[in-house]
Amino acid sequence: MEKPQLMNLDLRTPLLYAKTSDLPSDLHFNMNENEEILLCFDLDPAQSRNIEPKTELLLGPLVFCGRKSGGFDNQQGEAVSLPAGNYLFVQCRDALDREKWLDLAVEQQKDGLWERYKPESRLYVRFLYEDGRFVTQLFRPL
């Protein structure tokens, strides 16, 4: 896998999802081409500021899981979102499993801290289908 490039992303509008209680273990296999999944995790405060974090300690509890198919309809129930704002952003044009996207989150953090960014202790993981393939995106608020 080629190392994804770290970007500073200014997300101008929130991305809305219907909150779901299920967190499938095989996310990319449970998705179709018209769906997106958004996971939001708190990160361990000490590990999230460490340039050499311990991967097994970095990821904290799941805050929410959201799913959408095509457009979003507010009548589907409780809404969750990836809020508008500034983010450290990386993406991989593949459906990464938990171990691989967590490794990518560690690299994102190392690169961000090296470039003197101050990421918050939260991680958003987005899975979608784009340009004929699955994509995994990671967002760290700044």
Total structural domains within the chain: 1
Q: pLDDT (tens digit, 9 = 90+) per residue, 88-100?
A: 999 999 888 899 9
- The C-alpha atoms of residue 60 and residue 100 are separated, in whole angstroms, by 16
Q: Residue 21: what pLDDT?
A: 77
Query: Considering all CA atoms of the chain, what is the largest pairwise distance in Å, rounded to the nearest integer?
Result: 43
109 is a domain residue? yes
Residue 52: the pLDDT is 95
Provide the domain limits for residue 62.
7-141
Contact 18, 72 (CB under 8 A): yes
- Helix, strand, coil shares of the chain, percent, nearest 5, are 20, 45, 35
Per-residue pLDDT of the chain (142 residues; tens, 9 = 90+): 556 788 899 999 999 999 987 665 555 556 778 889 999 999 999 999 999 999 999 999 999 999 887 655 544 578 899 999 999 999 999 888 899 999 999 999 999 999 999 999 999 999 998 888 899 999 999 9
Q: Would residue 30 count as lying in a domain?
A: yes
Prediction pTM value: 0.89
Task: Report yes or no on 20 lying in a domain.
Answer: yes
Residue 2 forms part of a structural domain? no
Is 54 part of a structural domain of the chain?
yes
Which domain CATH number covers 14? 3.20.80
Residue 1 lies in a domain: no
Tokens for 54, please give them.
Answer: 């311990």
